[in-house]
Amino acid sequence: PKGREGSGQYEKAFDTEVYHRFEIERIARIAFESARKRRHKVTSIDKANVLQSSILWREIVNEIATEYPDVELAHMYIDNATMQLIKDPSQFDVLLCSNLFGDILSDE
């Protein structure tokens, strides 16, 4: 759910990020297949230190990575990834992330 409620000092807004296993598996496989055609490296961007959706994301990406032993997998938190992308973009090959984090990174 997402929305806005209340008024005055009790006004609030909220959003919910929801991912199903099959969605994460699908996009992860696309990332790993793409990496096989490139430099064989996937960097998964998440916020698994805070968000439950990112914890699920990381767990599933780790599972899918076992199907691609020839591709290196690294994990990076979104805040660090944003800084690293500006400092040294050449360190990355394929970035794998949610829609929200992809939108943030593409603006950098």
Return the residue matching tokens 């209340």: 6
Residue 107 is predicted with a pLDDT of 81
On whether residue 3 sits in a domain, the answer given is no
pLDDT (tens digit per residue) in 16-49:
999 999 999 999 999 999 999 999 999 999 999 9
pTM of the model as a whole: 0.91
pLDDT (tens digit per residue) in 46-93:
999 999 999 999 999 999 999 999 999 999 999 999 999 999 999 999
User: Residue 75 sits in which domain range?
Assistant: 21-106
Name residue 17's amino acid. Answer: E
* Sequence-ordered list of residues with C-beta below 8 angstroms from that of 64, at least 6 positions apart, any chain: 25, 28, 29, 32
> Structurally, how many domains does the chain consist of?
1
pLDDT at residue 108 tops 70? no
> CATH number, domain at 95?
3.40.50.2300
